[in-house]
Structure 1
């Protein structure tokens, strides 16, 4: 009986014949914490009486959720991270370096076939490059820092077969929103989501990150894809680390399989206050919006910025609307400067902020006021997600956000493409 990608990676890393629902202790290839979770992990590390991390070259801490620090108390937490990183000799990505989930693949820390944990729920992002990556709590992070190992319950796998080609004006964000709306927010709880098919193969690696990033929004533990030629070429551009891609066996056993034809998919929007409250953009078109956000670990990469800039070039955002743009990393921001993309955003009336998570997580850089509608490329729209539980968050692609800030209301981006 064959194995899924998840079963194969956990078998290799544990040295066991791992099958769905087995409990294994597995070796970790990389461990990550961000500024919302690392201080608690450092405290747990001390409480466990540890002195040294298992391998400094396999650990990074990233200051991205509140960067630069908006509060004195947060500054103290950042200080703790900097001191711990210096003491242990681990990687530290400080303010302005970018979002953790952009940095780990971009900086070559994770490669196909790896097993990775991060104290952030969207660690599942790296599944797009064939990495079993998943979010953990701060105490589990501390255990990983010390031992280089962690226990896992091997997940069952939910296979998504995506046939056809996405139509013009429809993007990977629309696709993953549609899937979440279809299977619901708990439709893949504790499963490995495995995405395959012509529609996935057609996507760029950057677009695939968007899909794997939001696997957690359907309850999945990870969002895995095979490493095809596009992935292998992308990874080789970012690191010289050796790696061994993992593919599912032809006779792998899946808990669920769903097939879709995406050829007629329309732009999608997730309405407040749940990510699975999804509809075609036409059903909410005309809804007034006061703020747009382009960025985050879901859609702050170069491809996303180029799509939005194409729509905004030579135009001005609506007088009653604000636009916040947060590139996913320093490298992305520099490339956007070189291509003139930031100039397009700024001339259109946008506020370009430090690479980081602030607007999405609601720590700073764009907290909405009571009753305001925000349209965002982020991955969550729960009450209070952006720092105000009396605001309303709609999720959409960078194209839909760009079109909407031009008109001041939710707008089908195909009108501008």
Structure 2
């Protein structure tokens, strides 16, 4: 009998379901390897449910809690939410608690919690980030998360796989963020149809882990359930440095001839820097189309746009230059570990010397919390994943999206600008 050909998504789900194989459309119950929640959608939402049921967490060692939305506390309400989170973590004997250490989607892999083949559930819409590590990770709401925390299991309808193949070398000044904005424009925000997106091709193989995280993170903007990248030596090396066990990453691969719903092909070498106009990532096009739009604020932050390589992109543009008069540039590193590394290698010095204002690590203005939110009518370009109306502040504000390269170039010009012009001419 010919063995069933399975995609990477199907193989991971089959293992979690305790069966040899699964088929798309089938509904199965899976054992959860890891559950991640944060201060906004976590304890304050699930605690009352668990209390009504009179139960606790099924396995505290398999739960990770990160405080990242209301940090640092900016009013009495946010302080109360953080206190509730800390108290609940203590009461449930959860050791994997990262309090004000950074954004959950970055902290989770930084601390070695992810590896290929895991079936992981997160309490946030950008949980597909874990797919960069070859783990099947997706987001759920508080009610479903409460069920996971009690039973250690959840149900899933086995998805079809949509392959997104990128080949060719990225030009200088173009990054994974530009690739994702191009995908949003081409496929639309429902192009993933809540299926499993799998990224492949020579371009993907050449990306760093943090750039792969951007790809998987923004699978959410495509409407996918998860965004998978098969594990390889790059994956294994990152996990080892993070103190985790890479496991049999070579063995956790989809069958090359496994059927998928569709495969889309893209040429990375022909990609221009992309900018998304308000109020959707799907409103993306080459930076030239948004050139000269005057801006009030530039924001380099969030799980998508403030990892170490993101900060280094911005520093390349800003080194030896200054932020334009009348324009403000905020930088919120995605984790405290990234802040320390950027301080040690001189990246932060280049950013602050140019006039950037350093903010604490956390979700911050990306989700409309704390410092950096926008006033009525203000225009911002941001390295975040979303630019929905009112998300970063006043409903009349306008948010454009770009890579850290593009955000930094725009900060220097005081208008949306093409970063390639700055990289080609060197430091001013």
Whether TM exceeds 0.5 here: the answer is: yes
Using the alignment, how far apart are the partners of 1:254 and 1:207 within structure 2? 25
| Residue 75 of structure 2 corresponds to residue 71 of structure 1 | yes
Q: Answer yes or no: is the 8 Å Cα contact 2:195–2:224 preserved in 1.
A: yes
Matched residue, 2:40: 36
Q: Which residue is 1:45 aligned to?
A: 50
Distance, in Å, in 1 between the alignment partners of 2:341 and 2:224 is 33
Partner residue of 1:312? Answer: 318
Kept in 1, the 8 Å contact 2:300–2:331? The answer is yes
The 5-angstrom pairing of residues 309-348 of structure 1 reads 309-348=315-354
In structure 1, C-alpha distance between the alignment counterparts of 2:82 and 2:176, rounded to whole Å: 34
Counterpart mapping for 1:208-219 below 5 A: 208-219=212-223
**How many equivalent residue pairs?**
415
Deviates more, 1:396-405 or 1:12-21: 12-21
Q: Which of these residues, 77, 88, 93, is aligned with residue 98 of structure 2?
A: 93
Of 377, 392, 401 in structure 2, the residue corresponding to residue 395 of structure 1 is: 401
Matched, 1:164 2:168: yes
Taking the aligned partners of 1:9 and 1:147, their CA distance within structure 2 comes to 19
The equivalent of 2:419 in structure 1 is 413
Instruction: State the TM-score, normalizing by the size of structure 2.
Output: 0.95
CA distance in 2, matches of 1:107, 1:388: 35
Work out whether 1:137 is the aligned partner of 2:154.
no
- 1:205 correspondence with 2:209: yes
Give, in angstroms, the shift of residue 312 of structure 1: 0.8
Matches within 5 A, 1:218-257: 218-241=222-245, 243-245=247-249, 246-257=252-263
CA distance in 2, matches of 1:244, 1:49: 39
Displacement after TM superposition at 1:240 (Å): 3.8
Which residue is equivalent to 1:364? 370
Structure-2 change in CA distance of 1:240 and 1:186 (3 Å): closer
User: Partners in 1 of 2:133 and 2:236 — Cα distance?
Assistant: 8
| Alpha-carbon distance between aligned partners in 2 of 1:117 and 1:201, rounded to the nearest angstrom | 25
Consecutive unaligned residues of structure 1, counting only runs of 5 or more, are: none
Secondary structure, in 3 states, of the residue corresponding to 2:169? Answer: coil
- For the residues of structure 2 that align with 1:243 and 1:30, how far apart are their CA atoms? 16
Greater alpha carbon shift after TM alignment, 284-293 vs 227-236 = 227-236
Partner of 2:426: none
Residue 297 (structure 1) aligned to one of 281, 300, 303: 303
Mark the runs of 5 or more structure 2 residues left unpaired by the alignment.
Answer: 424-428
Measure how far apart 1:299 and its partner are.
1.6
Q: Is the 8 A contact 2:240 2:246 kept in 1?
A: no
In 2: Cα distance, 1:22 partner to 1:388 partner: 43
- Return the offset for 1:129: 1.0
For the residue of structure 2 that corresponds to 1:93, the secondary structure is: strand
- Choose the corresponding residue for 1:376, options 373, 382, 397: 382
Look up the SS of the partner of 1:416 in the other structure: helix
Name the residue aligned to 2:278: 272
Q: Partners in 1 of 2:160 and 2:29 — Cα distance?
A: 17
Cα pair 2:377 2:396 within 8 Å, conserved = yes
Aligned residue for 2:12, secondary structure, equals: helix
Deviation at 1:47, TM superposition (A): 2.1
Displacement, 1:242?
5.3
For residue 197 of structure 2, what is the aligned residue in structure 1?
193
Secondary structure of 2:295's partner? coil
Q: Which residue of 1 aligns with 2:157?
A: 153
Q: Whole-Å Cα distance in 1 between the matches of residues 248 and 346 of structure 2?
A: 38
Distance 2:31 2:411 in 1: 46
Cα distance in 1 for residues equivalent to 2:24 and 2:386: 29
**TM-aligned CA deviation for residue 373 of structure 1:** 0.9
User: SS where residue 128 of structure 2 aligns?
Assistant: helix
Distance in 1 separating the partners of 2:286 and 2:174: 11
Distance 1:314 1:287 in 2: 24
Match of 1:25 in 2: 29
Following the alignment from structure 2 to structure 1, what is the Cα–Cα distance between the partners of residues 357 and 321?
15
Runs of 4+ aligned residues of structure 1 deviating over 2 Å after TM superposition are 239-245
1:9 is aligned to 12
Query: Whole-Å Cα distance in 2 between the matches of residues 47 and 298 of structure 1?
Result: 36
- Segment drifting more, 102-111 vs 254-263: 254-263
CA distance in 1, matches of 2:417, 2:341: 28
Query: In 2, Cα distance between the equivalents of 1:31 and 1:144?
Result: 8
